[in-house]
């Protein structure tokens, strides 16, 4: 019976070759479905993020503009290369002194006393020039310039000190590595 088994095997091989063209190939859809789910997820997240945080009425959001120079405004520079704070180009104190300075007013723990006196003097001279009362806020811009290494807690203290000195319009400017000033962002207080 070796001949019948050989014939049976030959028939089986012809049948396999004949139906090989009808063999189904599998397609892996898992990565495609994962990509679509990710797209839908990020679309839903970004579409609802704007609805979750509406802007309250009466809030003026800052606007960034390109190309405006820091002229015609009081400039407070916080630099890291010489770690110092300067007002209109004159050195006031080191960044370390400002960060460790304790407030002399218990009700205002973020106040930096030396910076406050310098900003108060600048605000008072602007008030005298414009004929404003001593307790009114100054409409003049205060440009705070800092580089990317500036600490946020120091920025918060500087902005609080500026507000207490009488500046209500603050412009935040970023010093680039080449020493140029980037576009200011104005915030009204």
Domain ranges across the chain: 2-52, 74-188
Q: In this structure, are residues 115 and 123 in contact, taking their beta carbons and an 8 Å threshold? A: no
Residue at token pair 């507000």: 163
Q: pLDDT at position 35, please?
A: 93
Which tokens hold the place of 69? 């120079």
Q: What is the helix (H) or strand (E) element at residue 41, kind and residue range?
A: helix 30-52
Give whole-number Cα distances, 127 to 51, 71, 91, 155, in Å.
42, 19, 23, 25
Tell me the pLDDT tens digit for each residue of 157-168: 888 888 888 888
Query: pLDDT confidence of 48, banded at 50, 70, 90?
Result: low
Q: Write the CB contacts of 110 (distance below 8 Å, at least 6 apart in sequence).
A: 103, 156, 157, 160, 161
Q: Cα–Cα distance between 171 and 70 in angstroms, integer?
A: 9
Q: Per mean pLDDT, which of 42-46, 142-146, 175-179 is the most reliable? A: 142-146
Q: pLDDT at position 17, please?
A: 84
Residue 185 pLDDT exceeds 80 = no
Q: pLDDT at position 54, please?
A: 61
């Amino acid at each position: 019976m070796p001949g019948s088994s050989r014939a049976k095997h030959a028939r089986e091989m012809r049948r396999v070759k004949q139906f090989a063209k009808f063999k189904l190939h599998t397609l892996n859809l898992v990565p495609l479905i994962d990509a679509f789910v990710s797209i839908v997820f990020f679309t839903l997240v970004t579409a609802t993020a704007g609805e979750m945080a509406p802007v309250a009425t009466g809030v003026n959001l800052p606007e960034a503009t390109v190309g405006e120079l820091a002229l015609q405004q009081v400039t407070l520079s916080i630099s890291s290369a010489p770690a110092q704070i300067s007002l209109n180009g004159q050195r006031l104190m080191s960044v370390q002194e400002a960060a460790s300075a304790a407030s002399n007013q218990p009700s205002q723990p973020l106040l930096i006393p030396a910076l406050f006196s310098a900003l108060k003097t600048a605000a008072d001279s602007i008030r005298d020039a414009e004929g404003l009362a001593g307790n009114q806020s100054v409409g003049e811009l205060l440009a705070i310039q800092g580089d990317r290494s500036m600490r946020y807690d120091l920025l918060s203290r500087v902005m609080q000190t500026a507000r207490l000195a009488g500046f209500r319009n603050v412009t935040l400017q970023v010093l680039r590595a080449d020493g140029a000033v980037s576009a200011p962002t104005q915030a009204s207080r």
